[in-house]
Amino acid sequence: MTSQPPLPPEQPAEAVPTCYRHPERETWVRCQRCERPICPDCMRDAAVGFQCPECVAEGNKGIRQARSTFGGAVVRTPIVTWVLLGLIVVIYGIQQLTNDITSLLMMWPNGVARLGEYYRLITAAFAHLGTFHLLFNAWALFVVGPNLERAFGHVRYLALYLLSALGGSVLGYWLDPLNQPSAGASGAIFGLFGAAFVVGRKLNLDVRYLAMLIGINLVITFVVPGISWTGHVGGLITGSALAAALAYAPRSNRLLWQALALVGALVVLVALVALRTTAITGTAG
């Protein structure tokens, strides 16, 4: 009997690599940067082959993110404008169902001063007295709002809108009769008109039509009875001043300067409210 030569030792089968993020998934694809195995759910298209999510994120850190004209995040859909439009329309619909909501929301100097209902300074901008009143403000917001939101970004634009509304209410708080109620988004709208004019001048655009629009509406404000001129003028002044601060802020540390302008405006308006309350009630509370 002849002996057979020993068989060569059996070679171990090559282990199938698995995705580093999903160990239960087999894959033969590796990240082009770190060479870790990645499954189809983790593959991100690269110039050559695929990369893993971590490598893509690391690479994006060096890419400067696009910003709006005056430093905000790029706005593709003017969501804030659509939400504001929806709010004033919905609230007006609720107003038609009950008068209580109108009385609760509208600006009433005595209610602010003697009852401490400071919320009225803002909520008055979301209530309207009549369908034409609502339609005009809604139309103006629809026309002017989206472009301003794209120029400033969501947050700056919302701050501009709310502070303009507050500015109109504050001037009314100081100059309107204590028992004279008022309502409407007109203060905020006039603030947007002023802001659009400032932005147009900053960008060297033709703003003659805006100047005419503002002028005509100011004439209507003072000629037609029953219109709160204080709300319109207060909103116009506040919106124009804030837009100038945002648009002309130095590029170096622009975010800081813009934040200081917005916070500073809020502080000034709150201080004016406190001073007026003290003057009406004779107390510091």
Q: What is the DSSP annotation of 121-178?
A: HHHGGG--SSHHHHHHHHHHHHHHHHHHHHHH-HHHHHHHHHHHHHHHHHHHHHHS-T
**Cβ–Cβ under 8 Å, residues 127 and 102:** yes
How many whole angstroms separate alpha carbon 234 and alpha carbon 268? 13
Q: In the chain, what is the straight-line distance between the N-terminal and C-terminal CA atoms, in Å? A: 116
For the record, the structure tokens of 77 come out as 């859909």
Q: Which of 164, 169, 182, 186 is labelled catalytic?
A: 186
- Residue 228 appears among annotated catalytic residues: no
- Residue 3 appears among annotated catalytic residues: no
**Cβ–Cβ under 8 Å, residues 169 and 191:** no
Q: Which residue in the block uniquely carries the two structure tokens 């990240």?
A: 31
Neighbours of 256 (CB within 10 A): 11
Catalytic residues: 186, 232
